[in-house]
Amino acid sequence: MRFRLPNIPTEFLRKALSDNGTPSSSRLLAVLHSFAAVFCLVYVTIKNHAIPDGTVTAGLGAFATAPYAINRVSGMFGGQKKDQGGGDADTVARIAKE
């Protein structure tokens, strides 16, 4: 018997934190950085009684999305392992499972 939590969208979260079914640590880190950025924005807003200017919010946005952006950019420029046939090793492994 499988334990299942009621009213929690586990399938949605599983899809949101994965790249084509493979768990993605960069997406998880981006979520954690987003929570930290929101905390900082709320703290500064409460402390100064004003919303920060666009430079601060842009910097927090860059901080929050940096792990995922770095992962995607490194994949575009050959940061992923290639197999002997020239394809991505992850893609070859996924096709082999099917």
Q: Tell me the average pLDDT across 12-16.
A: 77
What pLDDT digit, counting tens, does each position of 25-36 carry?
888 888 899 999
pLDDT reported for residue 19? 76
pLDDT reported for residue 25? 83
pLDDT at 94 over 60: no
User: Which residues share a beta bridge with 82?
Assistant: 88
Question: How far apart (Å, rounded) are the C-alpha atoms in residues 38 and 28?
Answer: 16
Q: Write down the pTM of the prediction.
A: 0.62
pLDDT at 55 over 80: yes
The dihedrals phi and psi of 78, each to the nearest 5 degrees, come to: 85, 25
Q: How confident is the model at residue 84 (pLDDT cuts 50, 70, 90)?
A: very low
Average pLDDT value for the chain = 77
